[in-house]
Amino acid sequence: MYTDPIADMLTRVRNAIMAKHEKVEVPSSRMKKTITEILKEEGYIKNFKVVNDEGKEKIVIYLKYHKDEPVIHGIERVSKPSRRVYKGVDELPEVLGGYGIAIVSTSKGVVTSKKAKELGVGGEVICRVW
């Protein structure tokens, strides 16, 4: 058992990219599915699917490469169980001057920081991707 399932997911993705794997499997949860959907919408991964493996749901994430280089150059956890990071709408981070995204958990759902600014809400900064 691990204490931070989101950090575990991000680490699995990071390791799979460094090893140039085509896909990576992570245990499923609602939050992880939402984060994966955002990664797909923003063009960081090819696709994903949720599979049922012996009664346990898993998310299979198909990684995306461009000219043999991974599309995801970096992915890191911001808010951790030991140190939560909350930002107001005016303080939401802009990753690499807009070239990356920050995923934020808000009262309106889990969205990118750009979308959170449009909605006029702040929240917990889950991770940054570039």
pLDDT tens for 19-68 read 999 999 999 999 999 999 999 999 999 999 999 988 899 999 999 999 99
* β-pair type (109-112, 69-70): unpaired
pLDDT at 4: 95
| DSSP E strands, 15-73 | 23-27, 45-53, 56-63, 65-66, 69-70
User: Which residues lie closer than 8 Å to 24 by C-beta, 6 or more apart?
Assistant: 12, 13, 15, 16, 60, 61, 63
Cα–Cα dist 124/114, whole Å: 14
CATH at residue 47: 3.30.1370.30
Reported as a pLDDT band with limits 50, 70 and 90, residue 2 is confident
Q: What is the band of 115 on the pLDDT scale with cuts at 50, 70, 90? A: very high
The yes-or-no verdict on residue 127 having pLDDT over 90 is yes
Tell me the pTM: 0.93
Pick the more confident residue, 1 or 92: 92
* Structure confidence at residue 99 (pLDDT): 94
Mean of pLDDT over the chain: 96
pLDDT over 70 (residue 1): no
**Domain region containing 57:** 5-129
Tally the domains of the chain.
Answer: 1
Expressed in angstroms, the distance from the first to the final Cα of the chain is 29
Torsion-angle region of residue 9: left (phi > 0), alpha (psi -120 to 50) or beta?
alpha
Count of residues in the chain: 130
